[in-house]
């Protein structure tokens, strides 16, 4: 389950209904895909897409998404830090950013009229960041994520940077297991 932090008052949400309620005020959709389909750690992109084909098709028809692929990174991925730095500064896209996490964790920061909310996502979490929404993304310290991405138009998924530097005021600290142990 995701961990959502409303940074204006540091309120945290780990309950699905509460997460959805908090994120709706930022116009962010959140859902869980359960049950998860078993996949090997080294499953290919084709195997991942096949395992979740039913869920992907349902989402495509709901959101007008035409293609799906799998992003799979780990600390050994060549050029990883350069790739991550492209998304760690505040930006927006001309189409929705839709991610379903299979493995690993990361943090989306969403900058809306109500302030900034941090969404730590993990396996089973689906997030939809509507086009035009200011946001940035970081991986957790283990630098691992495997996620399904859906696109309305692949060419539309280019970052446009705000150059606001708002992102520099927020530490991308993953709470993960340590948060649940407290
Ligand atoms: Fe993005």
For residue 74, the enclosing domain spans: 3-181
Contact 125, 2 (CB under 8 A): yes
121: domain CATH number is 2.60.120.10
Distance 86 CA to ligand 1 centre (A): 9
In terms of Cα–Cα distance, which of 137, 142, 147 is closest to 178?
Answer: 142
Distance 117 CA to ligand 1 centre (A): 15
Contact 3, 140 (CB under 8 A): no
In terms of Cα–Cα distance, which of 149, 135, 138, 147 is closest to 174?
Answer: 138
Distance 57 CA to ligand 1 centre (A): 22
Distance 54 CA to ligand 1 centre (A): 25
Counting the structural domains of the chain, the total is 1
Distance 127 CA to ligand 1 centre (A): 12
Question: pLDDT in tens for each of the 182 residues of the chain?
Answer: 899 999 999 999 999 999 999 999 999 999 998 888 999 988 999 999 999 999 999 999 998 899 999 999 999 999 999 999 999 999 999 999 999 999 999 999 999 998 999 999 999 999 999 999 999 999 999 999 999 999 998 776 789 999 999 999 999 889 876 665 44
């Amino acid at each position: 389950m995701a961990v959502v932090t409303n940074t204006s008052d540091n309120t945290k949400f780990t309950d699905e209904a509460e997460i959805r309620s908090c994120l709706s005020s930022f116009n962010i959709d959140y859902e869980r895909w359960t049950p998860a389909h078993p996949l090997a750690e080294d499953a290919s992109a084709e195997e991942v897409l096949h395992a979740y084909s039913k869920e992907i098709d349902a989402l495509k028809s709901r959101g007008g998404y035409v293609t799906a692929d799998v992003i799979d990174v780990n600390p050994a991925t060549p050029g990883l830090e350069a790739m991550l730095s492209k998304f760690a500064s505040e930006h927006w896209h001309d189409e929705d950013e839709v991610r379903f996490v299979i493995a690993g964790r990361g943090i989306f920061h969403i900058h809306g009229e109500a302030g900034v909310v941090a969404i730590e996502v993990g396996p089973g979490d689906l997030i939809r960041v509507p086009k035009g929404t200011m946001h940035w993304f970081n991986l957790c310290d283990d630098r691992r994520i495997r996620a399904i991405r859906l696109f309305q138009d692949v060419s539309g998924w280019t970052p446009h940077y705000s150059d606001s530097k708002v992102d520099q005021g927020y530490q991308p600290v993953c709470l993960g297991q340590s948060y649940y142990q407290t």
